[in-house]
Amino acid sequence: MMRLRFLIAFAAALLSWASAQEPGTVVPSIEFAPVGKVQIKPGGSKSVPLDFRIAKEFHVNSNKPHSELLIPTALNIPAAQMFKAGIPVGVASLQYPVGEDVSFPFAPGEKLSVYSGDFSITAVVKASPKATAGEYPVSGELRFQACDRSACYPPKSIPVKFTVSVSGK
């Protein structure tokens, strides 16, 4: 029993050492929180919050950065999944949160509009009155470009998926 405890403690200490990040090695990431099934009736609409979490120490530009050179965070939904005539279920609009104006040590005199920590984009989903009952997958990509306090990282995209379930009339 004593040996087992020692073994567990030893393994835990080793794992802790192994998982410690070296400076400058952490790659920025954004996690997309899974969305439960979105229930909607034919002809109806629903606001679907899409929640994202930015890795600690990083920030991304908001959807409306203060400079056109900066790459905005944007959820790109294929045209075929945007709601319009002939599409049974689609995304009618996207609402982005307002960015936080922050000064960073690399440019103390400048304020950048950024997201950090958790942020949420609202997708307004609509179903056509003629939509038949069933499940409709919606998929897109969140494009972002992250920086920390001293370096920036190339633009990246992560997949964003959820399912809209249209119930019978």
Interacting residues with other proteins (CB under 8 A): 3, 7, 10-11, 14-15, 17-18, 22-25, 27, 69-71, 104, 106-107, 110, 112, 145, 147-148, 150-155
Instruction: Write down the least CB distance from residue 4 to other proteins, Å.
Output: 9
Instruction: Write down the least CB distance from residue 149 to other proteins, Å.
Output: 8
| Helix, coil or strand: residue 2 | helix
| Helix, coil or strand: residue 73 | coil
Q: In the complex with other proteins, which residue's Cβ is closer, 101 or 135?
A: 101
Asked if residue 114 lies in contact with residue 64, where contact means CB atoms within 8 angstroms, the answer is: no
Residue 103, both tokens: 């000064």
Residue with tokens 């997949």: 159
Q: In the complex with other proteins, which residue's Cβ is closer, 106 or 161?
A: 106
CA gap 52, 97 in Å, rounded: 12
Q: In the complex with other proteins, which residue's Cβ is closer, 46 or 66?
A: 66
